Amino acid sequence: MQAALPEAILAIAAFSAALGLLLLRVPVAVALGATGLAGLLWQQGWASLAVDLGGAFSADTPAVIPLFVMMGVFISQPGLSRQLYDAAHALVGHCRGGLALATLLAGTAFAAICGSTAAAAATMSRVALPEMRRRGYADGLSTASIAAGSTLGVLLPPSLLLMLYALLTGQPLAKLYIAALIPGLLGLLLYLAAIWLRTRREPPVGPVGAALPWPQRGRHLAATWPFVLLFLLVVGGMFMGWADAEHAAALGAVAALFFAVAGGSMTIARFKAALIETAQTSGMLFLVLIGVGLFAVSLLHAGLPQALADTLAASGCNPVLFLLLLALGYWLLASVIDDLALIALTLPFVYPMAQALGIDPIWFGIYLVTIVEIGMILPPVGMLLFVIQGSSGVKAPAIMRGMLPFVIANLLRVALLVAFPALALALPGLMN
């Protein structure tokens, strides 16, 4: 370990440089790729330009990236967010705090489909916030519901963050997607409970709405059947062993295109735009993978991940203490960089440390994405809170106060996930 010390110092400097570039809003791929390449050139000279990045990725084909992205783009045709919101409103809008509950449900579903917390938050702010204001809802509860749903949905399939984790660690993506279901449902139930308790303690923040006639409710709920069927096809296929992640993604992309065409929302112009959006998003993710690969290989050559893992294993560190410190670190960093960049930057460090402590890699992937997304909405400096403030015009103090019940729900969610690992591991253990 002593021989590797100078290289470890160099790797720490590379980490600091990458973090600095990310703080300056340099694209993730450029920030990590440039620092990784500079580290390799410093250590090995120009011969390092021929480095093989294959070992930095999993054996699974990266074809899942464009296929899952294409599925999300095809199903996310104009009016989707409104359809989801109307269906959730029809289901629970007549309850006290019903519009907040509907916003949470619709935001979770929309974020799961589009794969972006910021896009989901901005969209739901435009769709739900005017209606909630018209019905007399407090801005704090409204914006908090938007923020909570936007982050929770990114944990669910087809999560781009779990996809990135799988490709960089070699873990099976299908198992990660199935492992996320129960923790995702747990988070949703805790968020719903937070809204329910808040509106009963302070009834004026979430007034009771009028119930829609049953035929109208049925029409709104029936409009969501393509999304439900698509979810069952993709997730059910992976769970039952009928398809691996790649084939499930291909099935999902074809089914999403069929539903869009059958529903009349897909035109030639929109089809071309969807293909362009798929190419742009997929290209961005591939560039991130290349950048992370260079960064990870540079760290491996420096010996830093192994040195950290050996030191942690020799110290006898309690895994629970490690997970607690990890959560605190991520919640601090989530105030300055977004979720994708945060995982890409830190995974080459934290994954070997988790392995050294014997933490299950599937469970760790779910935990990692969970705490990163919590950090995005954690007051007072969660990055997504500022996105919502900018898109809604609600003052920061109101947003912070509205988030407090969700902070308690999130702390309980993390505690339950750590105390009961089976929440994430039970379903993958049943897969064929």
Q: Is residue 23 part of a domain?
A: no
- Across 54-68, 80-94, 186-200, 275-289, the highest mean pLDDT is recorded for 186-200
pLDDT, residue 295, reads 87
pLDDT, residue 1, reads 39
Q: Is residue 390 part of a domain?
A: yes
Question: Residue 2 — very low, low, confident or very high, per pLDDT cuts 50/70/90?
Answer: very low
| 418 pLDDT above the threshold of 50 | yes
Q: Is residue 205 part of a domain?
A: yes
Q: Is residue 36 part of a domain?
A: no
Of the candidate ranges 44-48, 127-131, 164-168, 336-340, the one whose mean pLDDT is the lowest:
44-48
| pLDDT, mean over the chain | 85
Q: Is residue 210 part of a domain?
A: yes
Answer whether the bond into residue 203 is a cis peptide, omega within 30°.
no
Residues 6+ apart with CB under 8 A from 68: 158, 160, 163, 249, 252, 253
| 51 pLDDT above the threshold of 70 | no
pLDDT, residue 121, reads 85
Task: Give CA–CA dist 418/327, Å, rounded.
Answer: 11
Question: Domain of 93?
Answer: 63-429
At 256-307, the pLDDT tens digits run: 899 888 877 788 998 999 899 899 988 988 888 888 888 888 887 777 777 7
Q: Report yes or no: 332 and 346 within 8 Å, Cβ to Cβ.
A: no
| 76 pLDDT above the threshold of 80 | no
Overall average pLDDT of the 34-56 stretch? 67
Question: Residue 212 — very low, low, confident or very high, per pLDDT cuts 50/70/90?
Answer: confident
Residues 6+ apart with CB under 8 A from 108: 149, 152, 153, 156, 188
Helix, strand, coil distribution of the chain in percent, nearest 5: 80, 0, 20
Number of domains the chain contains: 1
Q: Is residue 3 part of a domain?
A: no
Q: Is residue 46 part of a domain?
A: no
Better-scored residue on pLDDT, 113 or 87: 87
Task: Give CA–CA dist 202/108, Å, rounded.
Answer: 24
Q: Is residue 4 part of a domain?
A: no
Ramachandran bin of 71, using left for φ above 0, alpha for ψ from -120 to 50, beta for the remaining angles: alpha
pLDDT, residue 50, reads 56
What pTM does this model have?
Answer: 0.90
